[in-house]
Amino acid sequence: MKKSGLIKVGTILGLVFLSAILFFIFEKSWQDLFFDESKPTAHFYRDSSVPISDINLKVFYVVPANRTANILSNWREVIENNLAKVSAFHVLQFRGLSRLTYDIYPEIVILKNNEDIYNSKANGGTVIISIAEELSRRVFTPSGDLYNADSVPSGENKYAVLGLVYEGENFTVFNGGIVKPASAKESVHDFSLLSGVPESIIFKADLEKIKGFFLIGRDNLINSPTAIGSTQLYEIIAHTFGLPDAINSVGVPLSDDLMGLGRVKPIENNYLSRKTLKDLGVLSDL
């Protein structure tokens, strides 16, 4: 190609290129794209070192030896309905940053003792410990008579919680909290001072791989007069990741949410307050 032809082609291409550059710059300024991919992580109450983005409940229907005649025929359905509600509630409150899954042990666990043995310890708050320890020995250890490998908490990334639905006549106790090793030197009081979690929801028990546990009477789930069984269930589940009650010592609510005034409301109308969510890492700032 001759020199003049090259100059013409070059001029045309140059102009087109110049136009394209100008247009690109213009379009770029028109497109104001900005994204922030960072996401917060849900964690244990006021402790960001313990993630709770995946909470797994190992739930058992436990029946004292003398209460087998009272076993609910639809026990699984009752438990599952309530767990489904609390699971949905949990995901909603945590804005999807934490999920609450559950595995219901397929068999009814008949306890070794009669209810009076367990109930007699109820006022001392140790009924949950004694049942949980018995369950752990029988179900989670290979030498146990009910050992089931699938039911043993295994996932390192999961926050494992042991749930007990207790078959007891007029038994309306519901309790739960975090589990510390029974062999630990620190007392419950020491743990409370260290973590800021109230003593009432700290338990020392021999339960391997279990971060927290709860116990609720099956009457709470089916016979609650104001249909607040699921609310109570979630309240004690919340204790397992350190969430304290929002009521004072004489029972006056300190907050409007489920941990306070909301505990007497159905779960459908309940929520966790922004302050609570901040303590759990869901909200970064208020």
Contacting positions for another protein (CB under 8 A): 2, 4, 7-8, 11-12, 15, 18-19, 22-23, 26, 30-39, 85, 88-89, 92-93, 95-97, 225-227, 248, 251-257, 260-261, 264-271, 273-274, 283
Least Å distance, CB 96 to another protein, is 6
Cα→Cα distances 146→5, 47, 93, 120, 243, Å: 91, 35, 36, 25, 32
Cβ 7 to another protein shortest distance, Å: 6
Closer residue to another protein, CB minimum distance, 32 or 156 = 32
Q: Measured from the CB atom, is 21 or 182 closer to another protein?
A: 21
Provide the minimum distance between the beta carbon of 3 and another protein in the complex, in angstroms, as a whole number: 9
Report d(CA 241, CA 281) in Å as an integer.
12
Amino acid (1-letter code) at residue 189:
H
Q: Which is nearer to another protein, 96 or 181 (CB)?
A: 96
Helix pair 75-93, 229-240: axis angle to 10 deg = 60
Q: Smallest gap, in angstroms, from Cβ of residue 269 to another protein? A: 5
To another protein, the closest distance from the beta carbon of 281 in angstroms equals: 13
- Gap between the Cα atoms of 59 and 83, Å rounded: 9
Residue closer to another protein (CB basis): 137 or 265: 265
- Alpha-helical regions (H) of 136-269: 188-195, 218-222, 229-240
Instruction: Using the minimum distance from each CB to another protein, give the nearer residue, 198 or 266.
Output: 266
Q: Work out how close the CB of 89 gets to another protein at its nearest, in angstroms, rounded to a whole number.
A: 6
List helix spans (H) across the chain: 3-30, 75-93, 115-119, 127-135, 188-195, 218-222, 229-240, 274-279
Q: Is 181 helix (H, G, I), strand (E, B) or coil?
A: strand
Residue 191 Ramachandran class (φ > 0 left, ψ -120 to 50 alpha, else beta): alpha
Q: Which is nearer to another protein, 88 or 117 (CB)?
A: 88
Choice between 12 and 194, CB closer to another protein: 12
State the virtual CA torsion across 251, 252, 258, 264 in degrees, nearest 10. 70
Shortest Cβ distance from residue 167 to another protein (Å)?
26
